[in-house]
Amino acid sequence: MPDSSLRILVVDQNRLRASIIEEGLREAGHADVTVVDRLDGLMRRVVEIDPDVIVMDLENPSRDALESLFHVSRAAGRPVAMFVDRSDAAMIEAAVDAGVSAYVVDGLRKERVKSILDMAISRFNAFSRLRDELDKTRQALEERKTIDRAKGILMKKRGIGEDEAYALLRKSAMNENRRIAEVAASVVLAASLFSGEDL
């Protein structure tokens, strides 16, 4: 049963990822969620919000500051532990692998927060996969453009058709055990060197 009374703070400089986490928390029935994506004034916000659970990306340079704040808040009787259960090594490793850290007020029952961390870990991983796919798509697009330019150069210089130009690239790639995009990049580079133009 999701626990709508928990105060949850999501700290992530990546606004898109922060909103993906926030959405996941709201879908799970958590109403009291605050997202902070700026570093300046972060410590003041943490004190104001006084969260039960903090979800923070590992690349955030404010982790040391946040942890030092807990020494202060320990005085106020809200000691903070990292992750739900120190003995849950698999979860801790999964979280660090995913690039997320979490701080939980000590004394909260494990089942109250475990689902939050599971969700954060899976959404951080999903976000990384999306970003990887996006990078791959971008790279594929770039390679396509390079191949088109190489084809154009070959067609012009050799007076051949488009299919022939592509077949030539593919044959060279096979002979040299390289990728077509690499051969195409060499053609473009060579043409720019010979023509003295920045193609």
Partner 1 sequence: MSGSVTVRAGFIPLIDAALLIAAAEKGFAAREGLELVLQRETSWANIRDRVAIGHFDVAHMLAPLPVAASLGLVPLPVPMIAPYALGLGGNAVTVSRALWEALEAAGAPSTGDPAATGAALAAVVSARAAAGHAPLTLAVVNAFSGHNYELRHWLAASGIDPWRDVQFAVVPPPFMADALAAGRIDGYCVGEPWNTVAASSGAGRIVTTKAAIWPKSLEKVLGMRTDWASANEETLRRLIVALEAAAVWCDAPENHGELAAILAAPDYLDVAPDRILAGLGGELALGSAAPKRIADFHSFAAGDATEPRVNHALWLFSQMVRWGQASLGEDAVATVRATMRPDIRARALGLDPARHGGLQPVRLFDGLTFAPDALASYLAALPFGVDPGRI
Q: How far is the CB of 108 from partner 1 (least distance, A)?
A: 14
Three-state DSSP string of 75-107 = HCCCCEEECCCCCCHHHHHHHHHHCEEEEEECC
Would the CA dihedral through 193, 194, 196, 199 be positive or negative? negative
CB-wise, 59 or 176, nearer to partner 1?
Answer: 59
Tokens of 166: 């592509």
Least distance in angstroms from the C-beta of 153 to partner 1: 34
Does residue 140 belong to the site contacting partner 1 (CB under 8 A)? no
Residue 20 CA: distances (Å) to CA of 16, 43, 112, 130, 158? 6, 23, 21, 12, 52
Residues in region 35-64 near partner 1 by CB under 8 A? 40, 43, 58-64
Q: Minimum distance between the CB of residue 74 and partner 1, rounded to whole angstroms?
A: 8
Task: Please tell me what DSSP assigns to residue 192.
Answer: H
| Integer-rounded Cα radius of gyration of the chain | 26
Nearer to partner 1, 58 or 190 (CB): 58
How many residues bind to partner 1 according to rule CB under 8 A?
26
Q: Which of residues 66-125 bind partner 1 (CB under 8 A)?
A: 67-68, 70-71, 75, 80-83, 86, 89, 92-93, 96, 101, 103
Both structure tokens of 197: 């133009």
Where do contacts with partner 1 occur on this chain (CB under 8 A)? Answer: 40, 43, 58-65, 67-68, 70-71, 75, 80-83, 86, 89, 92-93, 96, 101, 103
